[in-house]
């Protein structure tokens, strides 16, 4: 059960801030719906936590490289949202892209002023992290009927 996602991205997070980002993510994820339970399965790094956010994580210098967690069970939850939101104050820039099992796509774009979600999260239907489900797009109105032309009218 759960909503499978494919993940990929790169975030600029200096190694000197990783410990602070880790503790912020643990705090944000704890108590939310998901599979991470700090008392049952202690995590010691962002890479450990990323597995609960549908991703694997590797450090390359100042970059965190995220990919689909092929060795685990890459499913979305409120904890996954919390993980990515908690990283925002520590990330200088970057983008993480997601494709849901229903082909819904969304991205988290990080910049100095925070995180922006583009697209609708396929798991909860929200257009922003922890937002309300986005309203369904209404179909375009039908065009007004055209006046009937009389090509061969009698005078």
- Taking only the tens place, the pLDDT of each residue in 40-51 is 878 999 999 999
137 falls within a domain: no
148 falls within a domain: no
Domain count, the chain: 1
30 falls within a domain: yes
* Cα–Cα distance, 84 to 21 (Å, whole number): 10
72 falls within a domain: yes
pLDDT tens-digit map of 81-123:
999 999 999 999 999 999 999 999 999 999 999 999 999 999 9
Range of the domain at 109: 3-119
132 falls within a domain: no
Q: Is 69 exposed, middle or buried (0-12, 13-18, 19+ CB in 10 A)?
A: buried
* Cα–Cα distance, 106 to 109 (Å, whole number): 10
Q: Report the predicted TM-score, pTM, of the whole model to 2 decimal places.
A: 0.86
154 falls within a domain: no
């Amino acid at each position: 059960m759960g909503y499978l996602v494919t993940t990929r991205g790169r975030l600029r997070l200096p190694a000197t801030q990783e410990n602070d980002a880790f503790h912020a993510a643990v705090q944000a994820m704890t108590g939310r719906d998901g599979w991470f339970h700090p008392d049952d399965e202690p995590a010691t790094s962002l890479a450990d936590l990323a597995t609960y956010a549908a991703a694997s994580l590797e450090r390359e210098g100042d970059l965190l490289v995220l990919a689909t967690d092929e060795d685990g069970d890459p499913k979305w939850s409120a904890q996954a949202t919390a993980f990515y939101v908690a990283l925002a104050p520590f990330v200088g820039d970057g983008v993480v892209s997601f494709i849901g099992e229903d082909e819904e796509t969304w991205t988290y774009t990080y910049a100095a002023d925070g995180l922006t979600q583009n697209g609708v999260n396929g798991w909860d239907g929200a257009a922003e992290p922890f937002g309300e489900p986005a309203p369904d797009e209404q179909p375009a109105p039908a065009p007004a009927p055209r006046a009937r032309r009389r090509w061969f009218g009698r005078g």
